[in-house]
Structure 1
Amino acid sequence: MGDIRQSLLPRDVLSAAKELLYHLDIYICNLVQSGRQTPQVDTKTLELVEEFILHSPKDRNVQPRRMSALQELQLLEIMCSCFQEQSRDAVRQLMFSALFSLQGNRADESRMALLSKLVSMAVAVGRVPILECAATWLQRTHRVYCVRLARVLVDDYCSLMPGSVSTLQNIHSSSPRFCCQFITAVTTLYDLTTEDLTPPLELLQMIVSWLQDDPRLVLVTLLNTALSGSPPISSLDLTPLGGLVRWCVKAPLAYGRSEKRPPVANGTAESQAAEAGPLFSTLHLSVLQVLMMLPNVLNEKGLFGRLALLQPETLATLTSDLSRLLDLADEHGPPGDAHTLSQLALDRLAQALQVALANGALLCSREDLRAICSRLPHNNLLQLVMSGPVVYYNNIHTPPMAFSPHSAHSPISSHPTHQPLPPHPAPHPQYPAQPFLSPMPFPYRPNH
C-alpha cells in the first residue's frame, strides 16, 4: 500500500483518512483471503495509518495536520460504518489491530485518544463489531492502557453525564465479551486505595445489576479463550474475580474512611456510602455464586487443579491493604462501628477464600494461606478456614493432597495434627464425586 501515499498527500485531512480506510479494508481482505496462518499488516501500511489517520508523521520537521472537532466526529462515524459493514470478523479484528495496536512510539497517544472516542461512540450508538474488537484489544494490551480506556468510559457515562449510564448498561446483552473485559479493567483501576480510586455509585449499581442478571458474565473471557500458556504478566487478569473480591472485602472499611469527603451531585458522600453497603453485599453473593460454578467450567476445559483464577500474590496485596485499613479504622473510627465493619470485611475474606479453595479457584496450601493472612487480626471464620482440612488436586502443578472432594478414589485422612482414628467396625463408603452444575451456554481523558 506504500504506493498510494502520493495520492493521499494532496487531499484534505478527512478525505485522506477516509480514502486510506477504504484501501486498508481491501488490503486486509486480500491478506485474509491469501490463506496465511497468521496474516500481518506490513510496516509501510502502519506508517500510512500513523501519518494520515493518527496525524503523526515520521519526519519531525513536518508539521502534523490537525482535524477540527467536526472532522474528527465525521471520521469516527466513517470508522463506525466501516466496521459495521465488514461482515468478516477476521478482517475487522486485523483492521482494528492495524489502527490501534500500540507500537511503543509517539503515535500511541494519538491511538489512545482516537480509540477512546471510537469505543465511547460505539457504546452510544450500539456498534457491536467495534465493541467485540475492543474486547480483544483489552485482552491483549498492557493493563496500564486498558484502565485508561476504562476511565474514559466511566467519565463519559457515569461522571460527566450520570443519566447516560443506562446507555452503557445496555451493552450487557449485545456484547458480553466487552462487558467482561470492561469489568476486569474497572476493578483493576478502582482498587479502593484512595477516595479517587473508589468506584462511582452508578458504576457499582451497573455491575451489580449485570451480575444479578447473569453471574456467568465474569467468565465469558475464560470460556472463549484457548489457553496455551500463561498470559503476559502485564495484561489484565483472565477474569475480574480477583478485583471483585477486593472490592467486596475492602468496601466496608474503604467507605468508612474518616478522610474528608467532597460533596457529590446526588447527595452527601455518607448517604452514598450507606447506599453502597447493600450493593456490595449483593455483589459479594454474586461472586460466591460464580466461584461455585467454577468446577464445572474448569473441568470442561481440562483445567481443574491447574489454573488458579485467584493468585496468592493478589491475595497477599489484598491482605496488606486490608491490614492498613483495619489499623485506620481502629485509630479513627467509633469503637463499636470499627469492630463491626472490621469483622464484616474479615468475614467476607474468609468466605471468599473458603469457596475459592473448595472450587479450584485458589491453589495454595494452608501453610501459605496462613502466611498470607498472618498480619490480620483474629476472626473466627477466617481461623476456621486457615485451620480446616486441606483440599488438594490430582495434578503435578500442586502438592499432593490428603483428600479431594472431586475424586471418587480419595479416602478420608486424618488431620495432620491428630492421631489416626481406630478402625471403624464397618468401612466408610468412599466419598462420591462432587456433583457439578449443569453445563452452561456459553486519569487519562482525551480532549474532545
Structure 2
Amino acid sequence: MSDIRHSLLRRDPLSAAKEVLYHMDISLGSALQSSGAGAPVLDKSTIDLVEEFIFHVPKDRSVPPKRMSCVQELQLLEIMCSYFQEQSKDAVRQVIFSALFSLQGNKADESRMAMLGKLVSMAIAVCRVPILECAATWLQRSHSAWCVRLARVLVDDYCTLVPSSFSTLQNICSASPRFCCQLITAVTALYDMSSEDMTPPPSLLEMVVGWVTEDPRLLLLTLINMPLGTSLPLGGLDVTPLMGLLRWCVKAPLAYQRGRKLSLTNGHGEQEKGVGCEELYSKLHLSVLQVFLMLQVHLTEQNLLGRLAVLQLESVAVLMEEVSRLVEELNPLHAASHIQLALDRLAQALQVAMATGALLCTREDLRTLCSRLPHNNLLQLVMSGPVQSTHGAPYQSNFYPHIHPPRSSPLPPHNTHPALSTHNTHPALSPHAAHPALSPHRPLTPHATHSSLSPHAFHPAAMTFPYRPIR
C-alpha cells in the first residue's frame, strides 16, 4: 500500500482522487463478490488513502495538503456522479458510498460532510437516482446530528440561496421516494419550531405538504422496506417522519402566534407568514391521520400490532412539554383560539394513534403527560377512555372503545312513535307481531320482521373511526 501512496503523491489532486476511487471499486467489488454475505470492510490503509487523497487530510502533518481548486472539486463531483450512475450493482454502490462517507469520528469527518452535501445537491440537480438512494441509506444509518446538517445544506441550496431551483428539489419525489421520505424525517428534526429560526420556510412546508398529500404512503416507505428485526443506530433519525410532522401540526398555531408577538414587540408586524401556512398545516394534519390508518394495516399484516410502537411515548412526552412551554409564553386571553387548535390537533392525533396501535401507553401515563396542559374538551374525552396497556394481555384492535354508549335497540319504542302518540290506551306491541285491526281505522298491514337487523346495526360504535381533523 505504501507503493500506491507514493505513486499518488506524484499525481495532481484530481488524478489522485480518481485513482483512489477506482482502487476502492476493485478491492471492495471483488471482496463483496467473494464474501457472498455481509458487507466488506475497508482496511485501515485504504481508509487512510481516502482521507488523504479525496478529503485532503494529510497523513503526515509536515507535508502540506494538496488542495483542489473549485474547478477541480467540481470535476471530482462529476466523476463521482458518473461512477455511481454507471455502477450496475447496487450492493457495490452502497458499499463504496458507505466507505466514502461513513463518519469515523476523526478530523476528516468535516471534509466528508462538506463533500457529501455537494454531491447530494448535485445529484438532485441532475437527477442521479443511484446517489439519492445511497444518500437515503446514509440518512437511515447515521446519527441525527449529521443528518440534520445534510438537510440544512439542501434547504440552503434549494430554498434560500437559489429559490428559482426549488422546483428541481420538489420534482425529485417521483424519482426517489425513499430519499424524500428520509429527507422529510431530517427536515422535521432540523426545524423543531423551538424558535423563530427553527420554523420551516414556507416553500419547504409547501413542498412537504404537496408530497404527503399526493401520496401519504410516502411517510411509511422506510418502515415498510426495513427488514424485521433491524436495529436502528443509536441517536439516529426516527423510522418514520410521523412524530416530526405531528410536532409541526400541533406547535404551528402556537409558534406562529409567538412569532407575531415578537414582531409586534420589535415594532414591525409579520402576520402573513402564519396566515398563509394555516391551510397547509391543516392539510398536513389530515394526511398524518390518514397515514396512521394505513399504518394499522401494515402492522396487522406483519403481526406487529400492539408489539411495535411507531410513536415512542418519550417523544410524545417531549412534545407535550414543548406545547406546555409555548402556552406559558403566550397570553391565554389573546391566544385562546390558537391554544385550543393546537390541543385539538394533539388530541385527535393521540386518539387515532392509540386506536390504530401506533402509540402504546396506559391511561395513567396519558393523564400524567397531559396534566400540565390547559383544559381541552377533546383531550379530556381521549383521556377518559381506556388505552391499550403495554403490559399483560396482547393488543386488541378494538380495545379503545368509541365514546357513544350502546343502545338496546336501533328502533324507537312504539309508544313514542309519532304516528301512534294520540292512542294513549294502545297496548304495547311486539316488534315482530302483526297489528290488530283498530276501529274505526282500517286494518293495518302487519309489520315486516326485522330478523336481518343486528341489535347494533346502526350504532356508531359499529362504524369505522368517524372523526375529522380540526382545522
Give me the TM-score of the superposition, normalised by structure 2.
0.82
Cα deviation per residue 1:368-421 (whole Å; 9 max; x = unaligned)?
A: 0111111001000000001113345xxxx54437x8335xxx898999xx9xx9
The CA RMSD measured in Å over matched residues stands at 2.9
What residue in structure 2 maps to residue 209 of structure 1?
210
Q: Secondary structure at the match of 1:378?
A: coil
What residue in structure 2 maps to residue 348 of structure 1?
345
What residue in structure 1 maps to residue 54 of structure 2?
53
Q: Take 1:414 and 1:167, find their aligned partners in 2: how far apart are those partners? A: 47
Q: Which of 371, 377, 380 does residue 380 from structure 1 map onto? A: 377
- Where does 1:391-406 land on structure 2 (aligned, <5 Å)? 391=388, 398-400=391-393, 404-406=396-398
Matched, 1:173 2:166: no
Aligned residues of 2:141 and 2:232 also touching (Cα < 8 A): no
Structure 2 unmatched ranges of 5 or more: 409-453, 466-471
Aligned residues of 2:357 and 2:397 also touching (Cα < 8 A): no
Cα deviation per residue 1:101-149 (whole Å; 9 max; x = unaligned)?
A: 0000000000000000000000101000000000000000010000000
Q: Secondary structure at the match of 1:170?
A: helix
Aligned residues of 1:184 and 1:236 also touching (Cα < 8 A): yes
What residue in structure 1 maps to residue 78 of structure 2?
77
Alpha-carbon offset, residue 309 of structure 1: 1.1
Aligned residues of 2:192 and 2:247 also touching (Cα < 8 A): yes
Q: Take 1:74 and 1:388, find their aligned partners in 2: how far apart are those partners? A: 62
Matched, 1:28 2:48: no
The 3 A distance-change label for structure 1 pair 126 and 262 is farther
Q: Percent identity?
A: 62
The 3 A distance-change label for structure 1 pair 433 and 347 is closer
Residue type at the aligned position of 2:12: D
Matched, 1:309 2:306: no
Alpha-carbon offset, residue 214 of structure 1: 0.3
- Where does 1:26-425 land on structure 2 (aligned, <5 Å)? 26-38=26-38, 39-228=40-229, 230-257=231-258, 258-260=261-263, 269-330=270-331, 335=333, 337-391=334-388, 398-400=391-393, 404-406=396-398
Structure 1 unmatched ranges of 5 or more: 437-448
What residue in structure 2 maps to residue 441 of structure 1?
none
What residue in structure 1 maps to residue 427 of structure 2?
none
Alpha-carbon offset, residue 2 of structure 1: 5.5
Q: Take 2:403 and 2:110, find their aligned partners in 1: how far apart are those partners? A: 60
Q: Secondary structure at the match of 1:259?
A: helix
Q: Take 1:411 and 1:351, find their aligned partners in 2: how far apart are those partners? A: 14
Aligned residues of 1:405 and 1:433 also touching (Cα < 8 A): no
Q: Take 1:126 and 1:413, find their aligned partners in 2: how far apart are those partners? A: 48
Give me the TM-score of the superposition, normalised by structure 1.
0.86
Q: Take 2:310 and 2:400, find their aligned partners in 1: how far apart are those partners? A: 27
Q: Secondary structure at the match of 2:257?
A: coil
What residue in structure 1 maps to residue 416 of structure 2?
none
Q: Take 2:215 and 2:391, find their aligned partners in 1: how far apart are those partners? A: 32
Q: Secondary structure at the match of 1:91?
A: helix
Higher RCO (C-alpha 8 Å, min separation 6): 1
